[in-house]
Chains A and B, each alone.
Chain A
Amino acid sequence: MSPKKQTESFLPLTQAMFHILLALADGEKHGYAILKEVARRTDDKVRLSAGTLYGNLARLESAGLIAESSRRPEVVLDDERRRYYLLTEFGREVAVAEAQRMEEALVQARAKKLFRKPKLA
């Protein structure tokens, strides 16, 4: 399978998956941090629970979009149960492809003047 095709087979991403990838775009995070960041960034519109978060992490991890980081924070801050996740190169490609897909959709919507207020008769 060509790399492009492989990327496309993940599209469109679910909202939760896309936001998890996005949360990891600026560095590794542990589960709770991902959950908090997604909630903050979407103004609480995308709310993950423990179940959905780890269900998605498991799938992203087995597909190679994210990976577990070997880095551990300082002992004082570290909770031994916490694992940190990072975005893989492939994961970044998928996230970019998804963002592009959404952008194209947006461009087309603009071209159709979808955002103009309808004239009242």
Chain B
Amino acid sequence: MEKETQPFSQRLFRALVRVLPFDFRTNYQGEMEGVFREQRREVEQHGGIFEAAKLWKETIVGIFTTAPREHWQILTSDCAYAVRVMRRNLGFTLMAVLTLALGIGANTAIFSVVHAVLLRPLPYPGGQQLIFIRQREKQIGVEDLRFSVKEIEDYRAQNRTLSGLVEFHAMSFTLFGHGDPERVRTGVVSYNYFDLFGVKPLLGRTFLPDDDKLGAPPVLLLSYEYWKNDFGSDPQIVGKTFEMNDKIHTVVGVLPLVPQYPNENDVYMPTSACPFRSNKMHTESRDMRMMEVFGRMKPGVSAGQANADMATIAAGLKSSYPQSYPDNVGFTSSAAPLLEELTSKARPTLLLLLAAAAFVLLIACANVANMTLSRMVQRERELAVRTALGAGRSRLLRQLLTESFLLAIVGGLLGLLFTYASIQLLAEFVGRMTPRAREIHIDSGVLLFTLAAALGTSIIFGTLSALFSRANVAASLKEGSAGSGTGRRQDRLRSTLIVSQVAFSFMLLIGAGLMLRSLFKLQQVDAGIMPQRVLTMRTSFNWSKYDDDEKTRLVVQKLLDRVKTEPGVVSAAISSRYPFEPEIITAGAAAVSFNFQIEGRQLRPGEAPPVSTYASVSPDYFKSFGIPLKAGRLFADTDAPAFKAPDVVIINEAARHQLWPNEDPIGKRISADGGQHWAQIVGIVGDVREFGLDHPPSPEFYGPQAQGPQPAALVVRTAADPQSMSRALTRAVHDVDPQTAVTHILSLEQARYESLASPRVTSSLLGIFAGLALAIATAGIGGIMALMVNQRVREIGIRIALGARPASILQMILGKGLLLAALGVAIGIAGAIAMTGLVKSLLFEVPPTDVVTFGAVGLTLFVAAALASLLPARRAAAVDPNVALRAE
């Protein structure tokens, strides 16, 4: 009867019982099956279907209420046991926890950034439907042409994929009526800008269609931060008035605390309130492009469809207005998800850092596994005794996993503290690459990641140690047995772990080394200027007072005359921009580029017109920056309308090489407006790396301020420390016009230093990670060699007794350490070469397989391995054979 095949219900019961802990099943499963069989029989004989259902219900409920209780009991007793073990081995516990904390902390910190910037959707309702639209002139390298008013109207009318399309441009205006004249960052937007993003006001209202009509009374929205910091969160702010651009502006609302894209502003105004945007010059022109454009896709529309839609509109514009879209510039239009647009700059750096952090964690894991293995040797007896007392294999595995998990959890908590401490710095760093940096914080997603990292880590090193204990438990009960077979196997496992630690450390060190070499090269770059003792500042005149060239020319002259009377000023100039200006570097060269024609030269069909960047400068600009004159002459005060002088320009050497390779450009003429006005080249100056040290010089044209005033910056070469002059110079500007805002006061050396902030922080972070990895791996090699010496004391004693010289023992141990390092380096080289793609885009003039870096890193690791093995090796060489042999 018992031997017949099990009926289905019995098999089902057996499957159910599997939720109980293994040990419980070992003890009671047979009996439980017996009881259930009896119950089943009884029901079959006397009961009906109702009785059977009741039996199943009771059985299932019984098992599922018993199982958690049994598991919990094991967990609590395992934890209590683990805590005792951890306290008994405090040194080991501290080392393991610290190693794991560094590994998990590094990962949590970087993940919190990746999570906030790359993974999380934009914090707006339906944020994935938001797109950024971009017009480009591909053939002449203009990646972001921006939009004119006419174009925005066309895109709005012609698109078939968008439910809304809004514009944005950033301005800087002076606000009066709230203490000193204050420069406010102003976002000029369509009336439905905030509706499109789904932002509801905290106070008052956002803009209405009427606000956007030409001639509407000007209104303002304040950003949350500006309202809070400058107005002390005044609840009565709505309705207050301020003067801007000679007009009274009324505050209609305050925005909530939301991330502001594309950049942060103090106030927002509708397009009608911006004096530039509402000017006829803009509203009636197709070619005055200044605006950025965002759209919201209709439900169900993909980014690809929107992209195609924009391209179609661009093609239509091109055929309707050939004058505005010349054939030879490669005009197109495209759309990309806003999230992608906002994070594309940060992505490669963040991914590299994430990979680096993951490596640190892997190294930490390998190291803790190795430490645990070493400790297993000491615990062999204990584990063997427990096995002998009836603890099953899975029970032991469970115990060891609980121990590793406790270690990892404590490590994880400590790692979280590291993250808390470093997150502010990280956010500042990432802020240079993406406007999403402000969203970085520790949230449930990050905590979950930490937990997962701790869990994963504990499973990796817990399983590794259990793997070993399984092999060794049986052998270790035999008194004095070294378990030669398992010993060798365990040696091999430990060596593998060391080799992998060295390999990963090598890759990390290569990454850090390459970035450092690249940074060093960047710092060595000759920018073509003399940055010492130059002070730069942005000067924003109340433009409404200087609404024509004549008035502007006059104030520029007055300002220069005034500044030159200041003691300590060597030379001074006014310009539209200056080298390393942070905003210009962010905007890129295309923002200050123009295309032009050269007199007497015809473009071949399809040939792109020449393109150059342009700056308007006063005569002493070149002297102030130390830019050398290579041919011809610099600007003179007489290059001005007052002297009926012809328009003139100065070009740089890059322009000469590119545009006039075989002739003298001096005396040649160019036109930027289709031949209506011509300017003559009068001089050639040296190249300047204006847009960052990693940007090779490109053609640049300078025009005199007097012939086209754009007084945006004051640059002064000083006799002493430039910073000490900042107050006197600000006063000088205010003497000339107190309504002028002076901001961004920076020495040129500071500006140059700032321009390298991003590669500097990336190399520092990689350097920290690599340093951690090196320290962990070195400690690992040292520990493993020490253990090896300990285990082999007897063998070494015999060798010495048999006449081995201490030097050869030293050599033997050192050799083993170096062999492990060599294997690790070899694998590391292969890995580093395989991963070159990750760093390539971040390097400047350093190949990703740079021989110097590889050599230096390899040497560093060898030296570290040698040093780490030296101490155990010397101990081995000093073994006294008498003591060693008697010890057993």
Q: Which of B62-98 contact A (CB under 8 A)?
A: 62-67, 69-70
Chain A residues with CB under 8 A of B64:
51
Interface residue B58 (Cβ < 8 Å from any Cβ of A): yes
Given contacts A58-B28, A58-B70, contact A51 B34 (CB under 8 A): no
Chain A residues with Cβ below 8 Å from B13 are: 50
Task: Report how far A83 CA is from B27 CA in the complex, Å.
Answer: 11
B743 within 8 Å of A (CB atoms): no
Q: Identify which of residues 48-63 in chain A touch chain B, using a CB-to-CB cut-off of 8 Å.
A: 48-55, 57-58
Closest chain A residue to B29 by CB distance?
A: A54
Q: Nearest Cβ distance between residue B38 and chain A, in whole angstroms?
A: 5
Question: Of residues 29 to 87 in A, which have CB atoms within 8 Å of B's CB atoms?
Answer: 30-32, 35, 47-55, 57-58, 79, 81-83
Specify which chain A residues have a CB less than 8 angstroms from the CB of B36 in the assembled complex: 50
Residue contact A51 to B31, C-beta cutoff 8 Å: no
Of A35, A55, A79, A82, which is within 8 A of B66 by CB? A55
Tell me the dominant secondary structure on chain B's binding face: helix
Contact across chains for B62 and A52 when beta carbons are under 8 A apart: yes
Whether the pair A50, B70 counts as a contact (CB closer than 8 A) is no
Which residues in A have their C-beta under 8 angstroms from that of B30? Answer: 81
Find the B residue at minimum CB distance from A56: B66
B32-A58 in contact (CB<8A) = no
Interface residues of B in 7-47 (CB under 8 A from A): 13, 17, 20, 24, 27-28, 30-36, 38-39
Q: Which residues of B contact A48 (CB under 8 A)?
A: 62
Pick the residue among A35, A47, A55, A58 that contacts B35 (CB under 8 A): A35
B34 near A49 (CB under 8 angstroms)? no
Of A35, A54, A79, most B-chain CB atoms within 10 Å = A54
Whether B808 is near chain A, meaning CB under 8 Å from some CB there, is: no
A50 to B65, Cβ gap below 8 A?
A: no
Contact of B59 with A by CB under 8 A: yes
- Rounded to whole Å, the gap between the CB of A33 and the closest CB of chain B is 10
Question: In this assembly, does B61 line the interface, its C-beta being within 8 Å of a C-beta of chain A?
Answer: yes
Q: Which residues of B contact A35 (CB under 8 A)?
A: 35, 39
Instruction: Tell whether A55 pairs with B34 under 8 Å between CB atoms, given A49-B58, A49-B59, A50-B59.
Output: no
A83 adjacent to B31 (CB under 8 Å): yes
Q: How large is the interface on B (under 10, 10 to 19, 20 to 34, 35 or more residues)?
A: 20 to 34
A57, B67: Cα distance in complex, Å: 14
A57 to B62, CA, bound (A): 13
Query: For the complex, would chain A's binding face be called helix, strand, loop or mixed by DSSP majority?
Result: helix
A106 CA to B31 CA, complexed, in Å: 37
From B35, B64, B70, name the one whose CB has the most chain A CB atoms within 10 angstroms. B35
Asked if A50 and B35 make an inter-chain contact with CB atoms under 8 angstroms apart, the answer reads yes
Distance in angstroms between the alpha carbons of A53 and B61 in the assembled complex: 12
A49, A58, A79 pick with most chain B CB within 10 angstroms? A49
B58 partner residues in chain A, CB cutoff 8 A: 47, 49
Interface centre among A31, A51, A52 (most CB of B within 10 A): A51
Q: How far is the CB of A36 from chain B (nearest CB, A)?
A: 8
Determine which of B33, B38, B39, B70 lies in contact with A55 in the assembled complex, contact meaning CB atoms within 8 Å. Answer: B70
What residues on A are CB-neighbors of B27 within 8 Å? 58
A49-B38 in contact (CB<8A): no
A51 near B69: Cβ-Cβ < 8 Å = no
**Which residues of chain A have C-beta atoms less than 8 A from B31's C-beta?**
30-31, 54, 81-83
Judge whether A32 and B34 touch: CB under 8 Å: yes
The residue of chain A having its C-beta at the shortest distance from the C-beta of B63 within the complex is A51
Q: Which A residues touch B38, using CB under 8 A?
A: 32
Closest A residue, CB atoms, query B2: A79
Q: Is the CB of B34 within 8 A of A54?
A: no
Question: Are A31 and B24 interface neighbours, CB within 8 A?
Answer: no
Nearest chain B CB to A17's CB is how many angstroms away? Answer: 13
Contacts of B62 in A (CB 8 A): 48-53, 55
Q: Give Cα A52–Cα B64 distance, bound, in whole angstroms.
A: 9
A116: min CB distance to chain B, Å: 37
Which chain B residues lie closer than 8 Å to A47 at the CB level?
Answer: 58
Docked-complex contact A32 and B35, CB < 8 angstroms: yes
A51 CA to B69 CA in the complex, in Å? 11
Q: Which residues of B contact A (CB under 8 A)?
A: 13, 17, 20, 24, 27-28, 30-36, 38-39, 58-59, 61-67, 69-70
10 contacts between A and B (CB under 8 A): A31-B34, A50-B33, A50-B36, A50-B63, A51-B20, A53-B32, A55-B66, A57-B28, A58-B28, A83-B31
The 4 nearest A-B residue pairs measured at CB: A51-B62, A49-B62, A55-B66, A51-B63
